[in-house]
Amino acid sequence: MASNNAGMEQLAIGIDIGGTGTKFGIVDREGNVLFSSEMSTRGFDTIEAFIEELHKKVQPLIDNVGGTGRIRGIGVGAPNGNFYTGTIEYAPNLPWKGIIPLAKLIQDEFKLPVVLTNDANAAALGEMKYGAAKDLNDFIMITLGTGVGSGIVANGNLIYGHDGFAGELGHVIVIPDGRYHEGTGKKGSLESYASATGVRNTAIELLENSDTPSLLRDIPKNELDSKKVYDAAMAGDQLAKDIFDYTGKILGLALANFVMFSSPSAIVLFGGLTKAGDLILKPTREHMEANLIQVFQNKVKILVSHLKESDAAILGASALAWDVQ
């Protein structure tokens, strides 16, 4: 088959497996997503059934570009994905429990080499190859979504740690004995404040602990979310602004600590919360600088990913595939 495509540019497949949906696409070396689609992650009795369906959905895309011979490999990003073992391990947001040999299962099904890593590491690779971190050797990627994920690049390489689990910065304790985090049972982690869920919980706390008038008081508690807090802040609501200030204060403190660890030239932020723009970025920058010792001050850029959100996950995952052996 490869001979039919002699001289044609090689392509990579990127697959991003999320808690609800799975996105996939075919990407060229310049980061163009040539074809892409998605499917539900839910509703399969077994992981094997999911992968069989995934193959059925991806094959037409492969056929579009001339067949398997043009595909160099498959990169997969998934929560708790382990680069070293190719397994996903105890992923709380995925339907499959325990340790799943995901890379091997996909490799056997597709007959193509597969590399796996966690979703935030994949995002970091995507930014390094195609996005805001292009040509940076030292940066930290922070994804601010429902949860907080991270990928850390030092000396031009992702830090995987001895076991493949490095970069769980969402679970770093920022406020000792602070807010309880349901998923982990720990108190005061970054994720419990600087995620969409965290912003919602801060809103509830500030509303309960004050009598300050606010547009947010008109919204039923179970409908409060970070988008509504954003809308209120943009409409001039002071309490809504305070919510972002507070979030930025804690995020900035955490970023300062990360900077003093690996001294990156930039921190790249990605995900829903970044849509709040300066409402969150301004206090984040201020509090990062305020907590840095002199040698690090006014050196570290805080960048917001400019990759198209629909493409970013696929791009990031596909970036893994170029290095397969």
Closest contact distance (angstroms) between CB of 179 and a second copy is 13
Taking the complex as a whole, the smallest distance from the CB of residue 97 to a second copy amounts, in Å, to 14
Tell me: does residue 173 bind a second copy (CB under 8 A).
yes
List 174, 233, 303, 314, residue binding a second copy (CB under 8 A)? 174
Q: Which of 16, 119, 127, 168 binds a second copy (CB under 8 A)?
A: 168
Answer yes or no whether residue 175 interacts with a second copy by CB under 8 A.
Answer: yes
Window contacting a second copy (CB under 8 A); options: 56-64, 170-178, 209-217, 228-236: 170-178
- Closest contact distance (angstroms) between CB of 254 and a second copy is 9
Residue placing its CB nearer to a second copy in the complex, 79 or 271: 79
299 binds a second copy (CB under 8 A): yes
Q: Which stretch binds a second copy (CB under 8 A): 27-35, 213-221, 224-232, 252-260?
A: 252-260
Per-residue exposure over 256-280, b if at least 16 CB sit within 10 Å of its own CB, e if not: bbbbeeeebebbbbbbbbbebeebb
- 293 contributes a contact to a second copy by CB under 8 A: yes
> Could you say which of 36, 184, 238, 297 contacts a second copy (CB under 8 A)?
184
In the complex, minimum distance from the CB of residue 121 to a second copy, in angstroms, rounded to a whole number: 12
3-class secondary structure for the chain?
A: CHHHHCCCCCEEEEEEECCCEEEEEEECCCCCEEEEEEEECCCCCCHHHHHHHHHHHHHHHHHHCCCHHHEEEEEEECCCECCCCCCEECCCCCCCCCEECHHHHHHHHHCCCEEEECHHHHHHHHHHHHCCCCCCCCEEEEEECCCEEEEEEECCEECCCCCCCCCCHHHCECCCCCCECCCCCCECECHHHHCHHHHHHHHHHHHHCCCCCCHHHHCCHHHCCHHHHHHHHHCCCHHHHHHHHHHHHHHHHHHHHHHHHHCCCEEEEECHHHHHCHHHHHHHHHHHHHHCCHHHCCCCEEEECCCCHHHHHHHHHHHHHCCCC
Asked if 135 is part of the footprint of a second copy (rule: CB under 8 A), the reply reads no
d(CA 108, CA 110): 6
**Crossing angle of the two packed helices 238-262 and 196-208, in degrees rounded to 10:** 130
- Identify which of residues 160 and 270 has a Cβ nearer to a second copy in the complex: 160
Q: Does 261 participate in binding a second copy (rule CB under 8 A)?
A: yes
325 binds a second copy (CB under 8 A): no
Q: To the nearest whole angstrom, how small is the minimum distance from the Cβ of residue 246 to a second copy?
A: 12
Applying CB under 8 A, among 50, 160, 230, 246 the residue interacting with a second copy is 160
| Residue 132 CB, nearest approach to a second copy (Å) | 15
44, 96, 296, 322: which one binds a second copy (CB under 8 A): 296
Residues at the site binding a second copy, with contacts judged by CB under 8 A: 80, 89-90, 136-138, 152, 154-155, 157, 159-169, 171-176, 184, 186, 253, 256-258, 260-265, 291, 293-296, 299
